[in-house]
Structure 1
Amino acid sequence: MSLEEENDSLLEEKMSLEEENDSLLEEVFELLEGPDCDNPEVILLIGRSGAGKSSLVNTLHMVLTGRFYMIAKQGSGQAQTVTLDLLRYNNCGVILHRISDTSTRERMTNLLPRLPHILDCAGLADENTPKLREIIELLIGGYIRPGTSIDALEKKQEECGIGRLKEVFKPDPAWKVSKIVFMQGCIDDIPKNLIQCLREVLKISNSATLTRKYQCEVFVLITKYDLVNKSSDLSLDGNGTENSISADQFEKAETEIAEAFCNVGAIGYNTLRWVSFTDNVGFSESQIRNRALKFLKKMIEPGVPKMPEPTFFDRLEEYVYQTLHKLRRAINRQLRERHFNCVSIIGCLFLSFVFIYVMYCLLRASV
């Protein structure tokens, strides 16, 4: 292929990608206009230091506004994360006047409040401890106010004792997380302990209703995809850096992290490859924009239907049933051990029925 033919091919590919991006942006607008986005998603970015959480915020801001601002401080090279607090970026950090394209700005005037909110947390250690499980649960449950210093939170945890922080903080429904994005660099070691810690938090159930306490959809973002070299993926430019990996190594890492999340939903469908705007990325702006728009679309698409929160009377009714069940078992046990006489049995049954009848009347009266 001649140089001219190669340039023509690249130009056609770029035009095709830009057309796809325009179509993706239109799909995002249509989703935002739907009733499912009346309450914006709250997305928690979680992962180890250097996974690219802050870079993701900056990239989304760039894609939506057309202007690159470092609204989230990010490290570079071997530097550790600079995020020390729980930061919240309302509506992806986008402000209307920053949108450079006039038609996009006009379209976004009414849709901006429907964009997801993003929570960027400090990098977490690769451990599975009661201390970390409590902090993750507080993050997901909306107990921690945006702007909170993670270091100060850990000190407060030491003062109160592990497991007591819920008594200190009051949850806010506006902070409660609806989607979790676990970020993992393709060249980094997989933090299996941290993943197991997150899995255990998501398994917590309500003892009264036996439903999951935190109904969050989990996504995995494989970052630093630009470091994949000699890939069959035509969208890659293989930059051949010292830290680059082969396509086979990348797919192996992708499989390993999917296996680590094997018990948290259909993670195969929810695994995405990600590239951020940085200084030395072998991707064109159109390629990065394409991945960012696909990610944003997935974040605002309707997910798995969530069960409604149990009301006070739902929990009360469940408690009545469980109490009756325990009482019946206790009576049967006492009968087997012959500790009860007939008068005692009749008295217990009478009190049980009175208790159930009173609870039933209270429930019906409240409806």
Structure 2
Amino acid sequence: MESYLASERIQLITNLKDVVGRTCDGRRPMNVVFIGSPACGKSSFINSFSASIADDYWREYAFSGGQGVGRGVANQITVRLKRFKPTEYVTSKRLQGYALPTLIDISGLHEGEGGLTEEILRLLFYGQLKENTNIMSVYKYGKERGLQKMRAKYWRWFTNNSDKVDRVIVVASATEPIPQGLINSVMKAARPTGDKYTREIPVFGMLTKFDQVDESSDEFKNRKATLFTALSLVGVSHRIGQCVNYCDTIDPDLTRTKQTLPDVDIPILRFMNVVCGSQYEVINPEESYRSIYFHEAAWDLLTGMVTPVMCLVLCFFISCAIAMLLVK
């Protein structure tokens, strides 16, 4: 059984190489962002994916963990936006030069205010937020100063397509209720239905910690069904994965610091082969946040000038009328 798992793992890594292609052939590493509630397993998944393609053992790139367990953790480890490029996390020589994804880790987001969270996600998706940005500081600034001032503070004059997000993975814990409000904000920012924003990003889902629940229970089944519905992925189950991450819960003896665990790697590799598939395309990839921001700013300026201009014109005509009466 172990040899079978090891060979399947190798085959999945080979498949992934074919899926992403080589950078020398013009393939660009896509940007994949992980979004979810605090302590749902985003950072752990990033570390687990890097281990799944390693030749030797697991390493911690994205800081994971927290204070306390379950809901209401006192603090989460991830605070700032961090991009892990393949040159940083790929240790296998056999994978050097392949366009494996850049993995974007951010702090966990609470349900919060939908409109504000949606705009923060939009800034992120359009590549407006710089490396090491404190997402919670962005949220706090927007809450205190208003959405428009937040947009004015964090938008960037120049961004390349290579800065924008190409894939969104919503990570949810099998042990916690699905954050439907947060997912609703994600879907509005990633899959807009109006004409104002038209850049659409493929969205996927990952359910972590399923080893800690009874998969046959109605609670788990309902939770999983809720995730499918919230992400509009009913009928396309291949775009939602479920896994256990490398952690103390499944590996109390720290075997992961000496070798990889194929039974952990395989579900992750299957999922990432789907996520990185070239059949999924970003719609209107060239659309920039700057063009939309300036269009709105110009319109606001124009509409803001209408009232004072009309007042000036009215005052001018009244003055002329009074002057004509005085002359007579």
Residue of structure 2 equivalent to 1:181: 169
Provide closer, same or farther for how the CA distance between residues 158 and 222 of structure 1 changes in structure 2, counting only shifts above 3 A.
closer
- RCO higher in 1 or 2 (8 Å CA, sep ≥ 6)? 2
For 2:104, what is the secondary structure of its paired residue? strand
Residue of structure 1 equivalent to 2:96: 109
Paired residues in the alignment total: 273
What's the CA shift string for 1:56-92, capped at 9, x where partnerless?
Answer: 1111122222322221111155144211111111128
Question: Which stretch shifts more, 20-29 or 158-167?
Answer: 158-167
Deviation, structure 1 residue 128: 4.3
The correspondence for 2:239, drawn from 270, 274, 278, is 270
For 1:269, what is the secondary structure of its paired residue? helix
Provide closer, same or farther for how the CA distance between residues 257 and 309 of structure 1 changes in structure 2, counting only shifts above 3 A.
closer
Question: Which stretch shifts more, 151-160 or 167-176?
Answer: 151-160
1:125 aligns with 2:110: yes
Preserved contact between residue 225 and residue 273 of structure 1 (Cα < 8 Å): yes
For 1:145, what is the secondary structure of its paired residue? coil
Residue of structure 1 equivalent to 2:267: 291
For 2:282 and 2:135, the matched residues in 1 are separated by 29
What's the CA shift string for 1:237-261, capped at 9, x where partnerless?
Answer: xxxxxxxxx4554332211211122
Deviation, structure 1 residue 32: 2.8
Residue of structure 2 equivalent to 1:39: 28
What's the CA shift string for 1:93-130, capped at 9, x where partnerless?
Answer: 415xxx3xxxx41x22322xx11011111111113422
Q: State the one-letter code of the partner of 2:244.
A: V
Deviation, structure 1 residue 160: 4.8
For 1:182 and 1:132, the matched residues in 2 are separated by 14
For 1:109 and 1:201, the matched residues in 2 are separated by 33
Residue of structure 2 equivalent to 1:86: 81
The correspondence for 2:186, drawn from 185, 195, 198, is 198
Could you state the TM-score of these two structures normalised by the residue count of structure 1?
Answer: 0.66
Mapping of 1:1-367 within 5 angstroms? 13-33=1-21, 38-65=27-54, 66-76=56-66, 78=69, 79=73, 80-91=75-86, 93-95=88-90, 99=91, 104-105=92-93, 107-111=94-98, 114-158=99-143, 160-168=145-153, 169-170=155-156, 172-173=159-160, 174-204=162-192, 207=195, 213-229=198-214, 246-262=216-232, 267-281=236-250, 285-309=261-285
For 2:6 and 2:242, the matched residues in 1 are separated by 19
For 2:284 and 2:82, the matched residues in 1 are separated by 28
Q: State the one-letter code of the partner of 2:8.
A: E
Q: State the one-letter code of the partner of 1:219.
A: F
For 1:311 and 1:222, the matched residues in 2 are separated by 31
For 1:219, what is the secondary structure of its paired residue? strand
